[in-house]
Structures are given as structure tokens and as C-alpha cells.
Structure 1
Amino acid sequence: MKLKALAIALCMASVPFTASAESVVQQAKQENVAQQQHNVKREAGFSQEAQKIRQQRDALLAQRNTLKEQTELLSQSFSTNEAELAKLEQQLQLDSGSLGELFGVVRQTAKELKAEQSYAVTGVDVTKYIPVVDQIVDAKALPSMPQLKGLWQAMESQIVASGELAKVNVPFINGDGEQTTEKALRLGALGIVADQGYLKWDGPRHLATAYQQQPENGPQLSDLAAIAAAGSESIALDPSRGVMLEQLANAPTLEDRLTAGGVVGKIILLLLAIGAGIAIFRGVKLAIINRQIKQQLKNPTQAGNNPLGRILAVYNKEQNRSVEALELRLLEAIVDEQQGLEKGLSMLKLFAALAPMLGLLGTVTGMIETFQVITQFGNGDPKVMAGGISMALVTTVLGLIAAMPLLLAHNVLSTQAENIRLILEKQGISLVAQQAEKNESSQASNRNVLAEQAA
């Protein structure tokens, strides 16, 4: 009974399983058919792509073969041309001979002449053969006969122009930056003179400007006309063609040097001026006193208004005192006169000692400024450091220049004052000795009188 029930159950379960299996098989077959169709399409696409690639490869191979053939043809042509060029060069060397060296010499001469025409003052009016010279300089072949003739004529024109005085009209730039045309006289190849004096010629720009500083007694256009009318040939020329005239602007004047000293330099000059005034005043005063003393020595009886006269007045006033008191009075008067004689000399000595110290201060200040400039701009350009170095050197020179005359004046005036003081001391000692002799004689006469009375 149990086996029968199990068989019935199995039969009932197999019915839906068989139906589902058939549907899965049917779906798998459909998908297989679709996949085969898709594969067929892909294979057809792959075949077409492979055919295109084969066609491109065939085209590139054909192009490569064509380029290879062209390269071989060009190589053969290059070799043929190279051999032909070598033959032609050899034939050119045989035909030209020494003309190659001549061409080099001609080009070098033309370059030098071009530089001369560009920068020399003859470029103001002698410009006829400049194009010919430029053609020879720029030429890549042998110069032709017209060009060689033009080069010779250009050189000749420069030689002729260097020995003539020619009136020219020069494009001139004035100090306001305005361009005018000035009448001038070209002095050969050495310079151009206008109403402003010598003019600086700028050949590349074809303009003239005035030099920053003209030489002393430099010629002007009106002066040259007067010289030519008088038949004189004395004209100041610059044989360096403007180099020396440009250096005049770099040569500082006395005012420029004093300005370079800065504030310290001005203080040193002020000390020198004050010291010089004191020295002149005291020198004149001592000279007058010395002359008065000499006159007083000739007439000692009348005491004048001078140091020796005042000492004689003290003696006349105090001669009734004892010798010791008179000596002290005279010494006091001499000390008072000595103070008047030496008045201002200590200031001279102070200025003489202070001037070199100020010069040293200016030197240190200038070097500090120089090092600051070097820190900011480097030491590649010496002109950048020139200001500080100039200040250092100028202040040192000014300090020495101020100290030497002040020290000399102090020494001279001190010597004069010392000589006058010695004269006063000598006269004072003489007066004391005279008074002592008088006292001794009076005492001797008193002793004689007493002795006579006692006898």
C-alpha cells in the first residue's frame, strides 16, 4: 500500500518538471540561433576591416617604394652636383688666381672707410660715395671695376676733405631738445665750429650737439671769420677728433671738487676762513704792536699806548715802592700784556688740530657711502662708487690744506708774541735793576751822611 502511494506521488511530481525542462531547452535553442547570427555579422565585419588594413598596407608599401626610388634619384643627383661643384670651385680658383686675396683687402678697406664716413665730421657734407662703399661691404662676389673706381674716389674725397675748411649747414639739437639747422665751419676732419663753439658730431644719427664744456679760448664761428680776414692761421684744434673735448666734461672744476666734499668739506672751509681771519687780524695787530714798541724804545721817557708804554707807566707809578713790590707789579703788568698778545692763538691751534680730524671724518663718511652703494648696485660700474670716493678724498685734502696754513700761522704768531713778551720781560728786568741801583746808591749816600755826622 505504501509503495503504491509513493509511485503515485512520483508520477504527479514529474509532470511539472518535464514541462519546465522543455521550455528551458527551447529558450537555449533560440539564444544559440541568435548568437550564431551575431557571430556571422562580426566575422563579416572582421573580414571587411582586415581587407581595409591590407589595402592601407599595400598603399604604404607602394608609397615607401616610390620614396625610396626618389631618394636614390636625389642621392645620385646630389653626388653628381657635388662633383660638378668641386670641379667648378677648382676651375674658379684657377681662373681667379689672387683675386680672392684682393677681394678681402678691398672689403677690409671698404669697412674701414665706412667707419670713417660714419663717425668722422666729414660725414656732414662728404656723402657722395657712401652707397658705393656700402655695396662693396655687403657684396658676396668680386667687386666690379665701377665699384673699385668708386672706392678709390671715396678715399680721395676723404683725403681732400680732411685738408679743407668748408662751410656747412649742420642739423643741431639745442639744450631744449629742439632740432635746428646751424651754420658752421668744418675744420677738415678734426672738428665742426659754430656759434656755440665746437660741436659734437653723431654720424649714425646725422645730428650735432654742443659739448658740455668748451676749452678755454676755444674758437667760434665769428672768431674764425675774423681770423680768416686777418690772414692768421692760429686756431686751437683737437687732434683727437673730439676725444679730448669730451674729456673736458669729465675734468672737474674747483667748484665741483668743493661740492664733492659735502657738508664736512664746507665745515672745513668755514674753519679755514675763520682761522685765516683770526690769523690776519692778529698778525696785523702784532705787527702794529711791534712797531709801537720799537718807537717806544727810542723814546722811553714818554709812555705811549702800547704794551711797553703801559709797563713804563706802571714803573713810573710804582717806582717809590720797594724793589720786590715793584718787581711783582711789573710782572703782573707783563702777564696782562701777554694775555692780550696771545689772544686768538689758542683758537688757531684748535682749528689746526680740528681740520685733519674733520677730514678723517669725511673720509670715513665717504667710504661708508661707497660701501652702501656697492651693497645696492654692486661694484661693476666704477662711476657708481665715484661720489663716495670723491667725498673721502676731497675732505682729506681739505683737512690737510686747512691744517697746514693754520698751523704755520699759529707758529709764526706765537713766535712774534713770544718775542714781544721777551722784550717786555727784558725791559721790566731792566727797570727793576735800575730801581735797585737807585736804592743802593741812596742807601750808600745815607750811610756816608751818617758817618760824616758821627765823625
Structure 2
Amino acid sequence: MSWKTLIVATCFAAMAPFTHADDLVEQTQQAHQQASEHNQAREAQFALTERELRAKLNQLKATRNALEAETEQLSDTFSDNEQQLASLEDKLRLESGSLGELFGVVRQASKTIQTDGASSYVAITQPEFNQTVADIVAADTLPSLKQLNSLWQGMLTQMQTSGQLQTLSLPVVNSQGVSSEQSVVRVGNLGLVNEQGYLNWQAERQVAVPYRAQPDNTLTSAKLEQAIGNVGETVLVDPSRGMLLGQLENAPSLSERFAQGGFVAKVIATLLAVGLLIALYRGAVLLSVHAKMHRQLKHPESPEDNPLGRVLKVYHDAPKRDVESLELRLLEAVVDEQQGCEKGLSMLKLLAALAPMLGLLGTVTGMIETFQVITQFGNGDPKVMADGISMALVTTVLGLIAAIPLLLAHNILSGQADHIRGMLEKQSISLVAEQAENSDQRVETGQAA
């Protein structure tokens, strides 16, 4: 390498740091320029956003001002309307005068008529009058002159027809649910009757339904015709317009009362039936035995097939026994006959003791059921608890009803058995005494000889 080349290389090596510094300065200037441009863009974006927000704010302020102005206008209009309405009400009150009171009286009377019409039998033949009453009740304006005339004319017609008998053709639903047109008689405003008795008019369905329970000597259409022809004949009328008949319908019958007792009631009835059968059978047997023994007393020399006859037979079969042996044999025969007479009485006494205990069991069961219903549904409705209480009371009554006749039968039959035993013991003592007398006579005869 020449010295010229070495000098050039040395110069370039000395200039390299200055060249790198210039590059750094240039890069720094470019970074500052880019940051400045970015900041200027962001500032422009912020300025645009500020202008948009100010425009929206101005728009909202304008809308608020418009709404405030409209609110003030509506408030003024409302105040004007209130003043105008108050003046119109005063004018209406002055112009209507007593018509307002008339409207109130008419509406009140119409409501009363509409309420009574649900249970009124006269209203059946006045559908137009019923519609007029409904229109007056539902209206919020003064009734028209036509409605007022229809109202008082309909009321007058009701008063007149409430004291008359009228034959009508109405749909009647029988116990099977079949509806058919039948001829019924309207007894004023008290009720409807047909050939079977009173009918329950259901205004909602516009049908008549026979009452499930009719009173004794109930009123029928045939009895009405007969009473019209015979002056002075009286008939049975329900003045409550079906209320008493409804209560009679709700009253349970004997079979329904028994059904309320449930399974326990059936068991008590079975015990009563078994006990009565035993009592009747044993009563018939004891009566027959008693009659046979009375016949036997008339002929003691010929024993028959009855308790007294069998005791007499023991005496006749052992005429030469001593008194002690005869007494024991007769006592044995009396004990055997006593067991036969008292047969079935212990079972009767047991049934009489079980009946009230079963009644108490039904009472406890019914109360448990009642408390379960109260737990599930509360005690607000007494009808919900009626089944359990009915079971409790019915079983108690049935238990007492079963126990009383069974105890009475047991007492009567025990008395008859005791009477038969007394007769046997009396005859046995008499036979023993007779045997003892005969023995004494034989002893005296032997000593005399």
C-alpha cells in the first residue's frame, strides 16, 4: 500500500464519527416533525369534536326552550279548560235542577229491582223491562222519558202480577240433566211449581231445576187446580221464595249422614246388626224355654225336652240316692242348663262395649282429618272442615246408638236367663227337700217297726 492510500484511509476514519452524528441529528429532527404533525392532527380532531358537541348542546337547548314554551302553553290551556269545565258544571247543575236527584232515585230503584230480579219469578215474563232496568243502571246520563215510563209501568205490572197465578212454558232440567219444555205454574212472586213440586228458577241459565228435596205435602200444579175449585182448601206455600226450600235441600238425609261416618260407621252398623240378630235369636230361644218350663210345671211327673224337664229327669232317674248325691246331681244339671241359657250373652255384652269405642275411634279419626285440612287450606272456610267434623260427630252418635239397644237387650236377656235359673234352682231345692222328707219318713217307719 502506498503512502497516499494510507493518508486517504486515515482521513476517512477521522471523518466517520462526524457523519454518524449528523445522521442522529437528522433522525431526531424527523421524529420531532412527525410528533408535531401527529399533535396537530389530534388538535384538529379535538377541535372538530368540540364544535360538534357545541352544536348538539345548542340544539338541545333549543329543544328544551321549545318544550318549556309548549309546557307553559299547555298549562295555560289546562287552566282555561278547568275554568270552562267548572263553569259548564255550574251551568249544568243550575239547568238540571231536581233532575239530578231524580236520576239518583231512579238509579237506586233500578239497582234494587235488578238485585231482586235474580230471585223474582215475576221478572221471568218481563224481559224488556229487565233490559230497561239494566240500561238505566249502566248509564251515566239522565234517563230518557221513554225509559222512565217503561220503569214505572214495569213496576206497576210486577205489583199486579205478583198476586196472580200464571201458567208458563219454561225449560225444565230434570235430575238426569235433560232439558225439556214443560208447563209450570207461577204462584205470584213466591215460586214455580209443576206436577212434581217446587222448581228452582236459575236466572243466569234461564232454566228451572226441581229441588232435590221437597217438603211433605208439597205444592203441585194438580193441588193448585184442586184448591182453586174448592174454596177454603189450604195449600203449602214457601213465602221465602225458595230460601227455605234451599235449606231443606241442603239438609242431609239419614243415608247421607250415615255415609259421612265413613268406614267406621259401617263397622258400627255391622256390629249393631250382628248384636241385634244375636239378641233376637236368644230372646226367642229364652221365651220358648220359659213357656216350655211353665207347661212343665203343670205336669212334673212327665219330664219333657226343656231345662226343667231335664232337671226333673235327673230326679226321677235316681229315686234311691241320698240327699247329698241328689243335691250335687241337680246342681250339675242346673249349671249345665244355665250355661245353655246364657249362651251368646257374653258376645252381646262385648259388642255393646265395642260400639262406643269404635265411635270414639271415628271421632279421633275425624278430628285428625280436620286438622290435616286446616294445615293444608287454613281455617278460613268452615265448609272445608265440615267432612272431618261430620265424621267425628256421626261416628260418636252411631256408637252410642248401637251401644244403647245392645246393652238394653243384654240386660233383658240376662234377666230372663236369671229368671230361668231361679226357677231351676227353686225346683231343685224343692226336689232335694222332698227327697230329704222321704228319707226321714223311711227312717221313722224303720224305727217304728
TM-score normalised by the shorter chain: which range applies? 0.7 to 0.9
1:184 aligns with 2:159: no
Give the AA of the match of 2:432.
V
1:231 Cα deviation after fit: 6.1
Q: Percent identity?
A: 50
Three-state SS of the structure 1 residue aligned to 2:171 is strand
Q: Deviations 1:147-170 (Å, cap 9, x if unpaired)?
A: 333222222222223222222232
8 A contact 1:126–1:161 mirrored in 2: no
Instruction: Quote the residue 2:334 is aligned against.
Output: 334
The 1:238–1:439 alpha-carbon spacing in structure 2 relative to 1, beyond 3 Å, is same
CA 1:25/1:187 → structure 2, altered by over 3 Å: closer, same or farther? same
Contact 1:367/1:388 (<8 A) preserved: yes
State the partner residue of 2:268. 268
Evaluate the alpha carbon distance shift between residue 290 and residue 60 of structure 1 in structure 2; reply closer, same or farther with a 3 A threshold.
closer
Q: Deviations over 1:349-375 (max 9, x none)?
A: 121112222222222333333344444
SS in 1 for 2:79: helix
Q: Is the 8 A contact 2:170 2:181 kept in 1?
A: yes
* Corresponding residue for residue 125 of structure 2: 125
Q: 1:66 to 1:442 in 2, by over 3 A?
A: closer
1:259-408 alignment runs, 5 A limit: 259-408=259-408
- Give the structure 2 partner of residue 243 of structure 1: 243
Equivalent residue, structure 1, for 2:152: 152
2:155 alignment partner AA: M
Question: Is the counterpart of residue 137 in structure 1 residue 142 in structure 2?
Answer: no
Measured in 2, the distance between the counterparts of 1:135 and 1:262 equals 52
TM-score of the superposition, structure 2-length normalised? Answer: 0.83
**Is the deviation greater in 338-347 or in 298-307?**
298-307
Letter in structure 2 aligned against 1:444: E
Which stretch has the larger CA shift, 332-341 or 365-374?
365-374
Q: CA deviation at 1:112?
A: 1.0
CA distance in 2 between counterparts of 1:394 and 1:414 reads 30
Give the structure 1 partner of residue 257 of structure 2: 257
Provide the C-alpha distance between the structure 2 equivalents of 1:373 and 1:328, rounded to a whole number of angstroms: 67
Q: Is the 8 A contact 1:121 1:203 kept in 2?
A: no
Distance 2:192 2:53 in 1: 84
Q: By how many angstroms is 1:110 displaced?
A: 1.0
Aligned 8 A contact 1:200 1:209 in 2: yes
Please, which runs of 5 or more residues in structure 1 have no aligned partner? 450-455
Residue identity opposite 1:131 in structure 2? Q
Contact 1:119 1:204 in 2 (8 A): no
Q: Cα distance 1:13–1:93, how it changes in 2: closer, same or farther (>3 A)? A: same
Q: What TM-score, normalized by structure 1, do the two folds share? A: 0.82
RMSD: 3.7
SS at match of 1:129: helix
Cα 1:370–1:47 shift into 2, 3 Å: closer
Q: CA deviation at 1:111?
A: 0.6
Q: Which residue of 2 aligns with 1:442?
A: 442
Alpha carbons of structure 1 residues 21 and 417: separation in structure 2 relative to 1, 3 Å: same
Q: Paired residue for 1:452?
A: none
Q: Which moved more, 1:207-216 or 1:340-349?
A: 207-216
Query: How far is the alpha carbon of 1:120 from its aligned partner?
Result: 2.4
Tell me whether 1:432 sits opposite 2:437 in the alignment. Answer: no
Distance 1:51 1:302, change over 3 A: closer
> How many residues are treated as equivalent by the alignment?
444
Give the drift of 1:86.
Answer: 3.5
Secondary structure at the aligned position of 1:182 is classed as: strand
Mapped to 2, the partners of 1:439 and 1:58 lie a distance apart of: 153
**Post-superposition shift, 1:135?**
2.8
Q: Give yes or no for the alignment of 1:79 onto 2:56.
A: no
- Mark the CA change 1:320 to 1:32 in structure 2 (over 3 Å): closer, same or farther: closer
Q: 1:307 & 1:382 partners in 2: Cα distance?
A: 61
Match of 2:140, SS? Answer: coil
In the superposition, relative to structure 1, how do residues 66 and 359 fare at CA in structure 2: closer, same or farther (>3 Å)? closer
Match of 2:3 in 1: none
Code of the aligned partner of 1:201: W
Q: Greater CA deviation, 26-35 or 273-282?
A: 26-35
Alpha-carbon offset, residue 95 of structure 1: 5.0
Deviation at 1:407, TM superposition (A): 0.9
Alpha-carbon spacing, 1:397–1:176, altered in 2? closer, same or farther (3 Å): closer
Cα 1:181–1:64 change in 2 (3 A) is same
Aligned partners of 1:262 and 1:40: how far apart in 2? 97
Q: Does 1:166 align with 2:170?
A: no
The CA distance in 2 between the partners of 1:168 and 1:32, in whole Å, is: 113
